[in-house]
Amino acid sequence: MPVDLSPIDKAKYVAAKRACDYVESGMKLGLGTGSTAAWLVRCLGELVRDEGLKIKGVPTSTRTAQLARDVGIEVISLDEARWLDLTIDGADEYDGALNLIKGGGGALLQEKIVATASDQMIVIADASKKVETLGAFPLPIEVIPFGWQTSKALVEEALVGMDVMGATTSLRMNGQAPFITDEGNHILDLHLNRIGNARQLSLVLNQIPGIVENGLFIDICDIVITGYGDGRVEVHDINKGEVDETRYDFLDDGNIFADLGD
């Protein structure tokens, strides 16, 4: 681990490294999507290569699947795995109850399916993802392409009765074309600023025709591992009601992650 990494990359790295302590040989793992989850995949790949760790990974996106194969992790489908020992993923926001907003990378549907098919879910994040109340990060919802504008109008109508501070919605774009998920759907981003009742909002959104899933992960996450740029790591276990802290240094000369972008 080099000393010249940015503080944010150091935070992501140490969170990913700490999460690896929960992984045992023989496990079937859900592998998340996003920049922080990519650090985890690389750390696991190092353990597979250097320490003989034997795991099977169920990726939550095509790009995670490719990275996992590149670093030597055996990739299987969720149908093959049927059930997972553990899922480790990132988050766009998390609150004190370990409720999450996910989907900034556009993989929320597969991420939620994989996470709920696991005995345990661990989120790895840098400290900027911790919030008092969810909602500053735009809430993604996955919608089918057919009639998406009608779905958008129904969402905006539903938001009028919700405990939120904003009600602006936008179609996520990829250049000049709509962003397309791995399942062939669109993403609507809801700019809510603050979500007063995340559980209620999640239920209401999923009742709207055309909405496949939303990015609120309620009562799914068991542990959040938060990394800091100085090498500190906090582990918040919601089931045990404990917060533990460890620290890593950055004295190693090697860096197997040199080609991993943010």
139-215 — its CATH code?
3.30.70.260
Per the CB < 8 A criterion, the answer to whether 212 and 188 are in contact is: no
Q: If you average pLDDT over every residue of the chain, what do you get?
A: 94
CATH architecture of the domain covering 7-130+219-247: 3-Layer(aba) Sandwich (3.40)
Per the CB < 8 A criterion, the answer to whether 99 and 219 are in contact is: yes
**Confidence class of residue 261 from pLDDT cuts 50, 70 and 90?**
very low
Using a pLDDT cut of 90, give the percent of the chain over it: 92
**Confidence class of residue 174 from pLDDT cuts 50, 70 and 90?**
very high
**Confidence class of residue 5 from pLDDT cuts 50, 70 and 90?**
confident
Cα atoms in the Cβ-side hemisphere of radius 13 Å centred on 25: 7
Positions marked active-site: 111
Question: Is 69's pLDDT higher than 70?
Answer: yes
**Confidence class of residue 252 from pLDDT cuts 50, 70 and 90?**
low
Q: 182 labelled as ligand-binding? A: no
Region(s) of the chain under CATH 3.40.50.1360: 7-130+219-247
pTM: 0.92
Q: 57 labelled as ligand-binding? A: no
Region(s) of the chain under CATH 3.30.70.260: 139-215
Cα four-point dihedral sign 206, 211, 212, 214: negative
Question: Is 1's pLDDT higher than 70?
Answer: no
Q: 89 labelled as ligand-binding? A: yes
